[in-house]
Structure 1
Amino acid sequence: MPQTPPFALLLDVDGPIASPVTRDVTPEIISLLLDLAGAGIPVIFNTGRSDEFIKSQVMAPMIQAGMRQDLKIHAICEKGATWFTFGSKGAEELYIDHDLAVPGAYAREIRELVATDFAEHMFFDETKRAMVSVEQHIVADNTEYRRAQVSFDAAAMEAMTRHGLGVQRLEVNKPDANNDIDYRVDPTIISTDIESVQLGKDLGARRALELLAGDEIVPASWFTVGDSRTDYAMADWLAEEGHQVSHVDVRPADGMPSGKSYPILTASDLGLGVEVIHDDAGAAFLRHWQAQLN
């Protein structure tokens, strides 16, 4: 018989779980995640981060904090391009969808571009297996990084065109010779991801359902949690597939979409002020859900 927990958590990592400033996860959040998982709540990460980031910043602290041997956590990384499961003994097999990888020649050019023109503000993420990502140095000023990011993104778009590839960035579309767009330049507050347009938090949500089906788990409802507008795709996909879902936005000041078919929650729904965002808001919701189970 399938297990039917009252809800499952589908969590973006940067923002609601890991601090976008330090990239670390607080011991309290690690403890709350373990408590929820131990209570039978499926905890699934759905992130643009690499598997190596999740292993070092999330998995290792959970194991060190005393992860129970019977717990299983799924991690969908690079917006659905890679995924793996981990427990108290570490990570299981890593799966990679190589068909969704950015061409190697383009990735090599971007690596050189960062080293030559943008190394002061950002670095090339060598841990990615399908996406190409650059990220702000922790010591760099974010305002200065965001200015450099605009120039980098323009150069990345121009390089795509020279490689004969169709690309989009936000509202700007540059199709290839066949009028196709296969890749996306996706800026965040601390990084830029260059990826297949087939990748996204909606693909991550589909993979999450597949992984839980393999465990014979059918949650009664879902909470999706994110800090960017693209994270709403998790809840969009689940709602379209007929699942009961609510989305938690831990950075609503960027703009909350209207007309969604599901509830959108923010820290204010917990009686907290507008200044409570990112992992502070993420921790507050984890505490709220833990209290509901007690």
Structure 2
Amino acid sequence: MVVMTDSSAPAAPVTHSPEESSGPEPRAPREATIPVEPGDGTRPPLALLLDVDGPIASPVTRSVPDEVIAELLWLATDGVPVIFNTGRSADFIEQQVVRPMLAAGIPDGLEFLAVCEKGATWFTFDRDGAGEVHVDEQFKVPASYAAAIRELVTRKYSEWMFFDETKLAMVSVEQHVETPSADYLAQQPHFDADALSLMPAHAMRGLIRSAAPEQASGIKDSRANHFLVDPTIISTDIEHARLGKDLGAWRALSWLQERGLEPDQWRTVGDSGTDYAMADWLQAQGHAVAHVDVRPAEELPDKPYHVLTSVHVGLGADVVNDEAGLAFLRAWHERLDG
């Protein structure tokens, strides 16, 4: 893949989440109660903004099932913009998303956008493959700090995790696929604390993201030297404080507007509290949006838009991750297919 630096790219406007004191709208008992109808040929009836790990890629195998690939292609062919908004690297998306979609057959005229590293990098792809990868230089972690984290992992944590060499702006450390989740999660807090302690030596300030990030989604620190240590169930990302899924949402909306496309509705899909920032930002800009959370239903926060889980497509609350994501893709397929 060709990588292009883009230091002039604008950052997303800083938009705080809507106040929740007004109370959320009632949650729909079924996805079908939020109408998704075939478009009139001039406006996409729906746009999808998808996290990758969890909603479409198995957090166990880190790959995208063939059934998910097929549904994504059907929806895109039917006029639904499909945009990936992930903390993963462009290289990972090229390997695990682009190549399987190419193998399945991307029709002529379709183009997809992948926003990677929580908005720091992005590229488009079509039937000819992946285009140039753009990197927003203002969001890069200092190279000296990245080297220090690489050395830390090698010296102290290599039994449980590895340094992701494919990141272009962030620094990420990920659980080995063969490592039991409980073993990794037991070590993760120690790594996170060590990663934070290394920041001052590289003129960085930072904090570890709270356990309830959905309560602060959309809040950004604009100071250039501020960074977050952001743990997930399979990795820890170390990122500029202004990166986030709302920046990815802004890039997605800008990309569609450049093409003269204004969807009637948005569906954002994620598996963590930080993924709500996609829907928070879109709703704050006046767009009709519902968010799909593929985690267990009991963990859901209150929001001023519909929040959907597997139970809203007739499945049990125990259906999560890519199984739940596939169920929603199929539900939207059925609605749009009449």
* Class of the TM-score when normalised by the shorter of the 2 chains: over 0.9
C-alpha distance in 2, partners of 1:240/1:164?
34
CA shift at 1:50, angstroms?
Answer: 0.4
- Partner residue of 1:166? 205
1:241 aligns with 2:285: yes
2:145 aligned with 1:109, yes or no? no
1:284 corresponding residue in structure 2: 327
Tell whether the 8 Å contact from 1:8 to 1:222 is kept in structure 2 after alignment: yes
Match of 1:54 in 2: 93
Report the secondary structure of 2:198's partner residue: helix
What's the counterpart of residue 119 of structure 1? 158
Paired position in structure 1 for 2:238:
194
Query: Could you give the per-residue CA deviations for residues 190-222 of structure 1, whole angstroms, max 9, x where no partner exists?
Result: 000000011000000000011111221110110
Q: Secondary structure at the match of 1:16?
A: coil
C-alpha distance in 2, partners of 1:235/1:3? 24
C-alpha change, 1:150 and 1:254, in structure 2 (3 Å) is farther
The offset of 1:263, in angstroms, is 0.3
CA distance in 1, matches of 2:182, 2:210: 22
1:205 aligned partner, one-letter code: A
> How far off is 1:291 after superposition?
0.4
Contact 1:51-1:77 at 8 Å conserved across structures: yes
Please say if residues 228 and 254 of structure 1, whose CA atoms lie closer than 8 Å, have aligned partners that are also in contact. Answer: no
Residue 111 of structure 2 corresponds to which residue in structure 1? 72
Letter in 2 for 1:191: S
Query: What pairs up with 1:1-294 in 2 under 5 angstroms?
Result: 3-171=42-210, 182-253=226-297, 255-258=299-302, 260-294=303-337
Structure 1, unpaired ranges of 5+: 173-178
Residue correspondences, number? 286
**RMSD between aligned residues:** 1.5
Give the secondary structure class of the aligned counterpart of 1:242: coil
Code of the aligned partner of 2:311: S
SS of the residue 2:123 aligns to: strand
Q: Is the 8 A contact 1:166 1:180 kept in 2?
A: no
Measured after TM superposition, the shift of residue 88 of structure 1 is 0.6
SS at match of 1:272: coil
Inter-partner Cα distance in structure 1 for 2:106 and 2:63: 18
- Deviation at residue 180 of structure 1 after TM alignment: 8.7
CA offsets per residue over residues 222-259 of structure 1, 9 Å max, x none? 0000000000000000000000000000013572112x
Cα distance change of structure 1 residues 14 and 254 upon mapping to structure 2, 3 Å threshold: farther
Shift of 1:154: 0.5
Distance in structure 1 (CA, Å) of the matches to 2:108 and 2:137: 32
Distance 2:208 2:94 in 1: 30
Change (3 A) 1:235 1:293: same
Q: Percent of aligned pairs with the same residue?
A: 55
Aligned-partner residue type, residue 226 of structure 1 = G
1 CA distance for matches of 2:51 and 2:325? 10
AA aligned opposite 2:76:
A
TM-score (norm 2): 0.82
**CA-to-partner distance for each residue in 1:149-188, whole Å, 9 max, x for gaps?**
111001001001333321011249xxxxxx9971000000
Moved over 4 A (4+): none
The 1-side partners of 2:51 and 2:322 are apart by 11
Q: What one-letter code is carried by the residue in structure 2 that aligns with 1:202?
A: D
Q: Is the 8 A contact 2:142 2:202 kept in 1?
A: no
Unaligned runs of 5+ in 2: 1-40, 212-222
Are 1:3 and 1:219, in contact at CA under 8 Å, matched by a contact in 2?
A: no
